[in-house]
Amino acid sequence: MNIVLLGIQGSGKGTLVQDLSKHLDFLLVSVGSSLRDEIATGSKLGKLIKSKMDKGELVDTNIVMDTINKKLSDNKKSIVIFDGFPRSREQADELDKICNVDLAIYLNLKKEDALKRIMNRLTCSKCGNITTRVKCPDLVCPVCNGKLTVRSDDTPEVANKRFEQYRLETEPLIKRYRESGVLVEIDASKTPNEVLKAVMKVIK
Ligand code: AMP
């Protein structure tokens, strides 16, 4: 079963996959975190990716497809979840060449609420755990004791550019997947637990 997660930045895609992994065995293809891993190596490619990411721009589709194909190459899991992919018509066309999309989960959240969440978001520099300033004001990761940091692209300016890119390039995919009969819309303004329950009902 191939599942894509759609939703504005801050709608809770990362939190959802984090929570789902406690209940379901799946391969996670998270393009954003694979790209951040590449940045962390300090490679030339990583520097190129960082320059795009810090401006709130999409990374080139050929780079994205390389990371995806690498992830899928030795996959043995029957469920694959694509987080933050596809983000454009071009990427959706590329995905169609590799596999069928069985389910598109659309986490629907207003832009204003998404911005509030992004401004509250903390990510562990060691294990990648996603949490909030409200839950962890001491900036210590509750999972691994690592240091919680603010993503370099989680500023109001970059977030607004990412929202615009989402509106122009990613939002049209909602219609595409609705028309192909695989879209399920989830109210992402609910608590993470309520969102998890709603998604589990759809997957099982
Ligand atoms: P995310 O972690 O999903 O919020 O993504 C962070 C950044 O990584 C985005 O703003 C893009 O610069 C890049 N990125 C993530 N997913 C994609 C994708 N599917 N296509 C192109 N760039 C992406």
Tens of pLDDT, residues 80-123: 999 999 999 999 999 999 999 999 999 999 999 999 999 999 99
Tokens coding 125: 């520099």
Tell me what the mean pLDDT of segment 25-35 comes to.
95
Q: What is the pLDDT of residues 130-145, one digit of tens each?
A: 999 999 999 999 999 9
What's 64's domain CATH number?
3.40.50.300
Residue 48 forms part of a structural domain:
yes
Cβ of residue 121 lying under 6 Å from some atom of ligand 1: no
Q: What is the pLDDT of residue 89?
A: 97
Residue 144 forms part of a structural domain:
no
Q: How far apart are CA 3 and CA 160, in angstroms?
A: 27
The sheet with strand 183-187 has its strands ordered as 27-30, 80-83, 2-7, 103-108, 183-187
Which one of 35, 51, 65, 150 would you pick to mutate in the ligand 1 pocket, going by the greatest count of ligand atoms within 8 A of its CB? 35
Q: How far apart are CA 59 and CA 49, in angstroms?
A: 6
Q: What is the pLDDT of residue 78?
A: 96
Q: What is the pLDDT of residues 48-75, one digit of tens each?
A: 999 999 999 999 999 999 999 999 998 9
Cβ of residue 190 lying under 6 Å from some atom of ligand 1: no
Q: What is the pLDDT of residue 102?
A: 98
Q: How many helices (H) and strands (E) does the chain have?
A: 9, 8
Q: What is the pLDDT of residues 145-204, one digit of tens each?
A: 999 999 989 999 999 999 999 999 999 999 999 999 999 999 999 999 999 999 999 997
Cβ of residue 81 lying under 6 Å from some atom of ligand 1: no
Residue 43 forms part of a structural domain:
yes
Q: Is the pLDDT of residue 43 over 90?
A: yes
Domain that holds residue 177: 2-110+155-203
Residue 118 forms part of a structural domain:
no
Residue 140 forms part of a structural domain:
no
Q: What is the pLDDT of residue 85?
A: 96
Number of domains in the chain: 1
Q: What is the pLDDT of residue 204?
A: 78
Q: Calculate how far, in angstroms, residue 65's C-alpha sits from the geometric centre of ligand 1.
A: 12
pTM: 0.93
Cβ of residue 31 lying under 6 Å from some atom of ligand 1: yes
pLDDT band at 79 (very low <50, low <70, confident <90, very high): very high
Atom of ligand 1 lying closest to residue 60 CA: 21
Residue 128 forms part of a structural domain:
no
Residue 117 forms part of a structural domain:
no
Residue 99 forms part of a structural domain:
yes
Task: Please report which helix (H) or strand (E) contains residue 185, including its range.
Answer: strand 183-187
Q: Does 86 sit behind a cis peptide bond, omega within 30 degrees of 0 on the bond before it?
A: yes
Tell me what the mean pLDDT of segment 11-38 comes to.
95
